[in-house]
Amino acid sequence: LTENEMVFASCSIGGQDMGDFRVKRKDGSAADGTQPGDALAPGIEKVRAIMANKDDPACQETFWFFLCMAVCHSVQVEQGDPPKFAGSSPDEVAFLDAAEASGVQFRARKRLPGKSGWSLTVKGPETQGEKTFEILCEIAFTSDRKRMTVIGKMDEQVYCIVKGADNVMQPLCGKRYSEADNEALSSYSKLGLRTLVFATKTLNAG
């Protein structure tokens, strides 16, 4: 028997590599700081410090990155300490585990009254507070599209959030990947890591 398990390894935000998000448990298995007794990985410590400091130029962008991870998925959450995430996609669960450890915590998914969409509750660090993201439309990941899309509303603003394979996402973006972005993708690929890109766009609410 095999187990399809994924662990969030690293990320690059705004061209800045955030370091390794993995630590090892006593039994040698991979850990990400989300289980009792796990040590915090360097990447988790780094993003926590950035988001805790409003004066850090990367604070808002780093929070937005993890917020995208916390809302662009189809996972259900079961409350507990730590909470348990259940979904058919192991990478989505790994994203939520990493976001949880970093301080951006997916807390609830509730059906919008009389609508087909969902209301997602995300608890951020003290600098951000709790956010409610209303999913108005969701287009699931398929082998043909190689990406997932959600359109949602937060703080009276509508956003389109997409995650997908880097070669599929580049033609859809309004500008080319930066040199730092390409270097990060190349570096992660050489390490044998699976890479995904998140992209967002602000939409006209009307």
- The pTM (predicted TM-score) of the whole model is 0.90
Confidence category of residue 71, pLDDT binned at 50, 70, 90: very high
pLDDT confidence of residue 1:
43
d(C-alpha 163, C-alpha 94), whole Å: 14
Would you say residue 31 has pLDDT above 90?
no
Token duo for residue 158: 């509508």
Q: What is the pLDDT of residue 77?
A: 93
Q: What share of the chain is helix, strand, coil (3-state, %, to 5)?
A: 25, 30, 45
Does the pLDDT of residue 2 top 50, yes or no? no
Average pLDDT of the segment spanning 144-150:
95
| pLDDT(53) > 50 | yes
